[in-house]
Amino acid sequence: MIKIGLIGCGTWGRNYIRNFEHLDDVKMYACCDFVEKNLKHSKRVLPTIKTYCNPEDLIADDEIDAIIIATPAKTHFDLAKKCLNSGKHVLVEKPLTLTSKESKTLIELAKKQDKILMVGHIMEFNPAVVRLKEIIDSRELGNIYYMYLNRTNLGRIREDVNVMWDLAPHDISIVNYLIGQEPKRVSAKGESYIVESTEDVVFLLMEFESNILASIHVSWLDPCKLRRTTVIGDKKMAVFDDTENVDKIRIYDRGVTYNPKTEREFEDFGSFQLAYKYGDIHIPQLQLSEPLKNQCTHFVECIKTGNKPKTDGENGLRVVEVLAAAQKSLENDGVFVDIE
């Protein structure tokens, strides 16, 4: 029986309680939060759960095998470090840390302690994203030109991190996962309209060695809630809309090809041949399941088997490297910054 501890019992933390409690060979053993109301709510969700007010007391509990960290991003490094040093497996919510150096420290510590370090990049456990990856890898879309992602809504505005560190980790992990590589450089532009020095809207551009472009738009100031990924290939195009209940992926048999004439065939300025294709729309059938449950199940399996998690520390580091470079770009008027 694997006993799980949770640090951070807000709304998202209670989702972890619900999911882990329904897994085989797992007991949601204890939780911790500074806010008494959150602990009481957690007790209503799971009356048998043990509660702590101090994270260090939970970390020191020898009954606990693994700890979930669902706290503000600025606390991730210190808490994860203490958990690993105490011999606990760790699942950290995104982003793993706020600097690449801190992420590398946790990766090395997990290796030294021979413990699982996993990051909550939940979108990589979304069946629709996994299916989209299969579609791209099968070359059904052809060569990928570019993709753009929208993650917008009205609120929740935070003061501890800007909107990019809050929302973009999801989309950066999606892009890295779909393309199968890390960008070579990034550029980011944003503005702080509500809270001074805290960007509430950011436009992030990622460039890859394969000439693929990926654009990410994140905002706390948008009238519409969007969770959409659009992928443009030279054969077909695909759209993943996570706000759809059932038909989350649509494949468009559409495209354009350019066939320039030879020089002597030019009759006037701009003479060329364009061929447009307007084909059918295909909606793949998906076996939908809750991404968080899939993520929790994977974490438990990795603890049991010792296998490397799909979203391990290295995966988390790659996302943090993009965020750190994008932050430098934000502070320097959108200049492109190379990924270290």
pLDDT in tens, 132-182: 999 999 999 999 999 999 999 998 898 889 999 999 999 999 999 999 999
Q: Model's pTM, two decimal places? A: 0.94
* Helix/strand/coil (H/E/C) assignment for every residue in 130-144: HHHHHHHHCCCCCCE
Query: Would 315 be classed as within a structural domain?
Result: no
Domain boundary among 123, 157, 181: 123
Number of domains making up the chain? 2
Name the residue with higher pLDDT: 273 or 217.
Answer: 217
Residues 11-53: tens digit of each pLDDT: 999 999 999 999 999 999 999 999 999 999 999 999 999 999 9
Share of the chain above pLDDT 70, in %: 96
Q: Are residues 71 and 211 in the same domain?
A: no
Q: Are residues 107 and 185 in the same domain?
A: no
Q: Are residues 10 and 116 in the same domain?
A: yes
Tell me the CATH number at 252.
3.30.360.10
> Is the model's pLDDT at 261 over the cut of 70?
no
pLDDT at 12: 94
Query: Would 314 be classed as within a structural domain?
Result: no
Q: Are residues 147 and 236 in the same domain?
A: yes
Domain of residue 198 covers: 127-290+321-338
Sequence letter at residue 284: P
Q: Are residues 77 and 193 in the same domain?
A: no
Q: Are residues 104 and 131 in the same domain?
A: no
> Is the model's pLDDT at 267 over the cut of 60?
no
> Is the model's pLDDT at 86 over the cut of 90?
yes
User: What distance, in Å, lies between the first and last C-alpha atoms of the chain?
Assistant: 41
* Reported confidence tier of residue 191, pLDDT bands at 50, 70, 90: very high
Query: Would 325 be classed as within a structural domain?
Result: yes
Could you give the CA distance from residue 58 to residue 34 in angstroms, rounded to a whole number?
12
Q: Are residues 131 and 239 in the same domain?
A: yes
pLDDT at 262: 52
> Is the model's pLDDT at 74 over the cut of 80?
yes
Q: Are residues 204 and 90 in the same domain?
A: no
Query: How much is the mean pLDDT over the chain?
Result: 94
Domain boundary among 123, 146, 171: 123
DSSP state of 124: G
